[in-house]
Amino acid sequence: MEALLKIENLSKTFTLHHLDKHIKASQNISIDLKPGEFIGITGRSGSGKSTILKCIYRTYLTAVGDIWYDSEKFGRLNLATATERQMIYLRKYEIGYVSQFLNVMPRTTARQIVEESVLQMGKTLAEAQKEAIKLLTHFNLDPELWDSYPQKFSGGEQLRLNIARAMAKRPRLLLLDEPTASLDAASKLKVRELIEDLKSTGTTMLGIFHDIEFMEGLCDRQFNMEAGNLR
């Protein structure tokens, strides 16, 4: 089966001008991700796990290497060199990114956040409202919270909202950036259920996690990052 995502010799170095320093983050990373597959990457803080996801999502610029993505719109596309407008399109319609942090406009309710995501797909307001209710219910966000601002939500609640927002776009590829970090055991269990649920819908996922136990039996393949290298 053709890979949905193929990373070839990805390296990322940060140049800090004021310190006159170059910091190597990820080095010579190569991974293939097939449609419907879930790959998990573990590793210590600072090992370069997030860097991989951020290079795919183009929050970071790739220094060396290629990130080939099989786009529905553009065909085979190197995300390392795609135009900014192509990346905006992909973020809108094809690639989702979920982290433990919810980065949204202030003074926007949980319901509006998910609706906005649906509206961006070109749906009508009525459709967006209906879809938002469906998603918030599906991902178990307490209806009492739907019309509240999420800045005061617990980590688990923010994560559920974050996933509902990302899934509103029905992404072909979902990037999970340490969604369980700083969550308690009960919340982690909920996240595990969410991921199992996403897997059952055939969503292709690349996730990074802090703890190995969490990933046991969940991922199709598992890697460990050490000092910027994948083992």
Residues lying near other proteins in the complex (CB under 8 A): 14-18, 54, 58-61, 73-74, 84-89, 105-107, 116, 119
Query: Can you name the residues that pair with 66 across neighbouring β-strands?
Result: 8
Q: How far is the CB of 1 from other proteins (least distance, A)?
A: 27
User: In the complex with other proteins, which residue's Cβ is closer, 47 or 187?
Assistant: 47
User: In the complex with other proteins, which residue's Cβ is closer, 23 or 212?
Assistant: 23
Whole-angstrom distance, CA of residue 225 vs CA of residue 48:
7
Whole-angstrom distance, CA of residue 79 vs CA of residue 5:
10
User: In the complex with other proteins, which residue's Cβ is closer, 107 or 231?
Assistant: 107
User: In the complex with other proteins, which residue's Cβ is closer, 26 or 187?
Assistant: 26
CB 163 within 8 A of CB 194: yes
| 3-class secondary-structure state, position 90 | helix
Q: How far is the CB of 40 from other proteins (least distance, A)?
A: 23
Q: How far is the CB of 96 from other proteins (least distance, A)?
A: 14
Whole-angstrom distance, CA of residue 37 vs CA of residue 83:
27
| 3-class secondary-structure state, position 47 | coil
Q: How far is the CB of 220 from other proteins (least distance, A)?
A: 29
Whole-angstrom distance, CA of residue 213 vs CA of residue 210:
9
CB 207 within 8 A of CB 176: yes
User: In the complex with other proteins, which residue's Cβ is closer, 59 or 224?
Assistant: 59
Q: How far is the CB of 16 from other proteins (least distance, A)?
A: 7
